Structure 1
Amino acid sequence: MSVTSAMYTGISGLAANGEAMSVIGNNISNVNTTGFKSGRMLFSDVLSSTISGGSQIGRGVQIQAVQNDFSQGSFESTQSSTDLAIQGDSFFVVQNSNGRYYTRAGAFNFDKDKVLVNPDGYQVQGYGIIPGTGQSNGVLGAINLTSFASTPPKQTANVKMVVNLDSTQTTPALPWDPTNPVATSNFSTSLSVYDSLGNAHTATAYFRKTAANAWDWHVIIPDATAGTPGSVTTPINGTLAFSSTGALTAQTPTAGTAQNITFANGSTVPQPVLFDLGVGATTQYASASIVSSQTQDGYYQGTLTKVTIDDKGYVNGVYSNGQLQKLYQVALAKFSSNDGLSKSGGSLFEETLASGQPMLSNAATPGVGKILSNSLEQSNVDMAAQFVKMITTQRGYSANSKTITTADEMLQEVLGLKR
């Protein structure tokens, strides 16, 4: 009876090592699978039989568990901004009609409907953005660019300039004349301002020295309606006062006083614009007049030209008018136990009772991880380690086969006793 038991013990070893070879083969076959997590076979002994005297005899081996190794894989740089990798132990969230899944494979792209999907068409989940704040709205859903193909224009509300006005200049011989501004000023600079329809209008600021440490400034916008601020007939006029060290100490009208500009093209009227000439920044030094900086906050209507994704998972739209707008934030999921996740094929995982429910958040949350764009996480399979395991598993399989053949020879010896 004991010899027969030895044969069954050997069979258990063959079965277990055969399954272990399947795990190793699966690891090696997925050495180039994006986001793949390798597995390992864990063995345990079978409950032993007790014989006389309280001694125990083993009954072979059994498969205890196949564990997944969720260690970080290395990163591969790619040319696609929608290729994403996670630095950390979180997962991307994807969904189709069958349900929600989790993955480390971030080879995503926008489909024909402008929805971010994985290669099998599962929709990548993210959060919408609250307009004006740029913060996540906490509502999970597909990342769909359909509503973001263009961005509306914005009318100019603020114009800021920082210049140096040459202190060696003298007052022009002719008094200020808006119909001949170049000849009656010392220096000028121009920039475009935008109305509510996105039309660009050229605004030119003229600077005229009136006395030591004193200048006038005038703004003319030829497109402005006659008789309204900024027009040739009614320029925007003000003064600048400098200290003896060349610093601008005051401007009138003040930077907080809006100039109500009117355009006769159907745009919003009046259009209040604040002109900030740089008190504390603009200077009057004995060097050539020059513009250090000039900005305005309006822009024309723009179309979406490309999409970028930053390390906090924000999906940013880059528009033809130079604007960068947050559109979505990629969602990430963490689990209490990654080992409890169930593989679903296609580099996907499903939650189980053993994994616990997902804790959904984003890469802006501390401890969740960081998202890398233009990157893919490679398989974490160690080829050298797998080949070593393959050798030891093969040896184990061969050794167990010897147990069976030896037990068979022992039975043959027993049968030979009758001869």
Structure 2
Amino acid sequence: MAADAEVRVAVDERPSMLRRWVRLPVWGRIGIVYVLSRLVTTAMFAFASLLSAPDSRFGAFPSLGTLAAGWDGQWYWWIATYGYPSQLPLDSAGRVAENAWAFMPVYPGVVKGLSVITFLPWPVMAVVVSLGCGFGSALLFHRLMRTRLDAGRSMFAVVLFCIAPLSAVFQLAYAESMFLLLLTLALLLLVTRRYGWLLAVIPVMAFTRPGVLAFALLLGLHLVVRVVTRRRDPLARREVLLILIGGALAAVAGFAWMVIAGLVTGRPEAYLQTELAWRAAFIGEQPLVPFSAWIQGGQFWFGDGPGLVVVLAVFVGSALLLFVPAVRRLGVDLRLWVASYLLYLFAVFFPQTSVFRLLIPVFPLLGAVPVPRNRWYRGGVVVLSLALQWCWIFVMYGLANAYWTIP
């Protein structure tokens, strides 16, 4: 009681605006931060539209709706309208061309269902769903951070989450926002050891966006840690069973879309060939050999010798990052998720400009940034985040005039 009284006195001595801010419920503070950050992002999109040149894929002065539903948003809109092709489209050389099978069905399905109910156009509802999922993600991210950080650092981590360089996806017709909501929930359930609920989240996550195989690896590593530390952290048989079931479910669900695509099209390699079609524009037709794509990407972007050096530096740097003291404060589970997801990306992804968007799921690392409390440091981080966000929006949606400007 005495401590509570001291806190109230401290709050009462602060300036009135700050006093009101502190007295707001956490969800209210997060809501204000989220709305303000989205208004800033909207202003950036509006400015990018004014700077858009005629040679942009969006043309001169595109509307905000056109930008929001652009790029992969067009594919999700197509899926919601026409579904998936039973015959794979081919290019002039007879190879599988880019097609809808590269995109999972949950996001376009949810948006379509809500647009039918509300009579709102698909692009409008897509933005509404993304915004809602983004806000839910911010709320859950705060709860996730509170398992490892104090209240002040957790709130600043949420600020960074809302203004991050790629936070524009919270208002685009992309599945990232929904996937983040599900992933944050799954990580929170894992950290708080509510394993049973994971069995409901994992299948939905698997059909929202690729990446659930990394979660299967995370569950396996999590079980190893629990077994090793069972003397000081008792591990019940029921927990072992639920973790094993969750890991198996994530592994099966991670391959399920490949099987479905093969059954519908009559070509077992349908999904794999579809994914490879996107990298063909960079390196031509190449088979999928795990981890080789990063070497190929390094050679493509930087040349043979320098490319290998860059790729090696990325690999080593990513590994060392997990042992930085501020990152270690996030706990074993979140660090294992980052390691699992990065390993997944290194195994299957060809590095190009989409890599920045595909790195969004390592968002728990934002919790390491607020550790220093210096105001100048934090102010600099905010300015840098907003500057990088503007660069991404301008290049990907303002210029959008080169084959490599892919968000």
Larger Rg: 1
Q: Shared fold (TM-score greater than 0.5)?
A: no
Specify which structure has the higher proportion of helix.
Answer: 2
Higher strand share: 1
Q: TM-score range by the shorter chain?
A: under 0.3
- TM-score, normalised to structure 1's length? 0.17
